[in-house]
Amino acid sequence: MSDPLSLRAGAETEAAAFPALLARAEHLAGAVLLGAHGRRRAGSGDDFWQYRPAQMGDSRRAIDYRRSARGDTEFVREREWQIAQSVMLWVDQGASMRFTSSDHFPQKIDRVRVLGLALAILLNRGGERVGLTGTELPPRAGRPQIMALAQLFCRDDMTDYAPPEHRGMIPHARAVFISDFMGDLEGVRTALTKAADRGVRGVLCHVLDPSEEAFPFTGRTIFQSMGGTLSHETLKANDLKERYLERLAQRKAELQSLCSLTGWRYGLHHTNNTAQAGLLWLYGALDAKAVAA
């Protein structure tokens, strides 16, 4: 999954099962670009808006003969003026994501990359502009952007727990953060607060390996983080299980409350579930009216 072509191919496969996503967007003056969001007025777009009588200057080609043939008047078919939305992604590339507890399901990083890129492809197909948070790849429309995204998704981050990138957020755009959120929550809090300040709303997708939920360890064990920076030794791993699960639940609750404060949406995805389920949820979350409020 590490080379851009195969990552893109995988993402395309995931995205192929979906209809084009039309994320609901707010009308924002600063981000008016032609896209696929109806502006409730006639203009260039794909969706039907209204028939109006033909006027002088209308091209003959513009006349809708099917409608005109019902009467004597000639009608022109007008389409809705649609604009595009900007969506910024942050996909955790940290070392902690390169973990899987079984050969039967992928590493977390593979899963989040596919999810992120699939979402980008869906949005891109819907005419949205997709990019990354930060300054590296600002949102743009068009197929080349997908390739650029795939390229960037294939770079591994060496840090153990990467903090969310919150720079370069375009005001009133949408954002999607996908991570296991195992690192310091302060970074997430900063990012979300900053986003809320700029009117950016979005989705937190929490991706976890099943073993991180189950903690199936026993006996004398030395736990090490994926990068090797953190380690913890215990003599009876099974004794830690309850307290570990407690802390995990606490963390989830904290993320959830953070989201509700800032108007984001929080979702949990496990790598032993299909990527499709995760993408479906992301699709729904981005499309949700609650976010659009």
Partner 1 sequence: MMVLGGIGFTAPWLLLALAALPILWLLLRAVPPAPVKKRFPGVALLLGLKDDETVSDRTPWWLLLLRMLAVAAIIIGLAGPVLNPEAEQAEGDGPLLFVLDGSWAGATRWPQQQEAIEAQLTRASRLGRTVGFLTLTRPEAPVFQSADVWRSRLAGLSPAPWQPNADMLEVARTVLAGAGEFDTLWFSDTLAYDGRDDLLEELRSHGAVEAYQTALNVLAILPATYEDGAIQLRVLRASAGEAREVTVQAQGRDPAGNGRILASATATFEAGETEAQTALALPSELRARITRFDIAGQRSAGASTLSDDGLRRREVALISARENREGLELLSPLHYIEQALAPTADLIDGGLSDVLPANPDVIVLADVATLSEAEAQPLTKWIEGGGMLVRFAGPRIAASDISRIDEDPLMPVRLRAGGRSVGGAMSWGEPKALSPFSNGSPFFGLSVPDDVTVSAQVVAQPDPTLAERVIASLSDGTPLVTRKVLGQGQIVLFHVTATAEWSTLPLSGLFVEMLERLAVSSSAASTTSAALEGTTWIPRRVLDGFGALSDAGTLPGVDGPALIEAPTGPMLPPGLYTSGDRTLARNVLTTDATISPATWPADVPVRGLSVAPEQPVAGWLLSLAILLLLADVVASLALSGRLLSRSNTSAAALMGALVLFAVPADAQTAKEDFALAATSELTLGHVITGDTQVDEIALAGLTGLSDTLFFRTSVEPSIPMGVNLETDELAFFPMLYWPITPQQPTPSAEAYAKLNDYLRSGGLILFDTRDADTASFGASSPNGRKLQELAASLDIPALEPVPADHVMTRTFYLLQDFPGRHNSRDVWVEASDPNIEQVDGMPFRDLNDGVTPVVIGGNDWAAAWAVTSGGAPLLPVGRGFSGERQREIAYRFGINLVMHVLTGNYKSDQVHVPALLDRLGQ
- By beta-carbon proximity to partner 1, the closer residue of 115 and 150 is 115
For the four alpha carbons of 275, 279, 285 and 288, in that order, the dihedral sign comes to negative
Cα–Cα distance for residue pair 220/280, rounded to 1 Å: 40
Q: Indicate the SS3 state at residue 163.
A: coil
Q: Given the complex with partner 1, which of 95 and 286 has the nearer CB atom?
A: 95
Cβ proximity to partner 1: between 52 and 236 the closer is: 236
Min CB(25)–partner 1 separation in Å: 35
- Pair of tokens at residue 210: 């099943």
Q: Indicate the residue among 67 and 189 with the shorter CB distance to partner 1.
A: 189
Nearest approach in angstroms of CB 49 to partner 1 is 47
- Smallest separation (angstroms) from partner 1 to the CB of 255: 13
User: Could you tell me the smallest distance in angstroms from the CB atom of residue 216 to partner 1?
Assistant: 8
Give dist(CA 96, CA 117) in Å, integer. 20
List of residues contacting partner 1 (CB under 8 A): 96-97, 99, 101-103, 108, 161, 180, 182-183, 209, 211-212, 215, 217-226, 230-237, 239-240, 243-244, 247-248, 251
CB of 94 to partner 1, least distance (A): 9
Supply the minimum distance, in Å, between the C-beta of residue 149 and partner 1: 24
Please report, for residues 12, 86, 110, 135, 144, the alpha-carbon distance to residue 130 in angstroms, rounded to integers and kept in the order given: 15, 6, 20, 13, 11
By beta-carbon proximity to partner 1, the closer residue of 234 and 273 is 234
Q: Under a CB-based contact definition with an 8 Å cutoff, are residues 2 and 154 in contact? A: yes
Provide Rg for the chain, Cα atoms: 23
Nearer to partner 1 among residue 230 and residue 280 (C-beta): 230
Dist CA 62 CA 76 (whole Å): 6
- Could you tell me whether strands 48-53 and 75-83 are parallel, antiparallel, or unpaired per DSSP bridges? antiparallel
Q: Whole-angstrom Cα distance, residue 267 to residue 273?
A: 13
